Amino acid sequence: MSAIWQVQEAKNHFSELIERALSEGPQTVTRHGKPVVRVVAVGDEGLAAPHKDDGFVEFLLSMPKVEGFAELIGERSSIRQTDPLGE
């Protein structure tokens, strides 16, 4: 069961928040009544677990090559840097 915590309540009961995330599931923290973060248990695989290979990269690499594609999009050297502030 997911619970909703106000920021101050989450700070004052952080250990309990963690325990409930482990035992009950994701815990949502709100600020000014709006959800801002969710505390979720990592699980057995850990944070640095590699992503499951779903075959998407292999699918992309197996796509047919398009003749003349480079000419269609132009040379990459024609792309120029612009100032993000418009100056």
CATH number at residue 7: 3.40.1620.10
Alpha helices in 3-77 (DSSP H): 7-12, 14-24, 56-61, 69-73
Domain assignment present for 45: no
Give how many domains the chain has, as a whole number: 1
Domain assignment present for 78: no
Higher pLDDT, 51 or 47: 51
Q: Please state the rounded mean pLDDT for residues 28-46.
A: 85
Amino acid at 46: G
Q: For residue 37, is pLDDT > 80?
A: yes
Domain assignment present for 85: no
Amino acid at 77: S
- Band (75; pLDDT cuts 50, 70, 90): low
Domain assignment present for 54: no
**Domain of 17, in residue numbers:** 3-39
Higher pLDDT, 1 or 67: 67
pLDDT in tens, 8-17: 999 999 999 9
Q: How far apart are CA 21 and CA 40, in angstroms?
A: 6
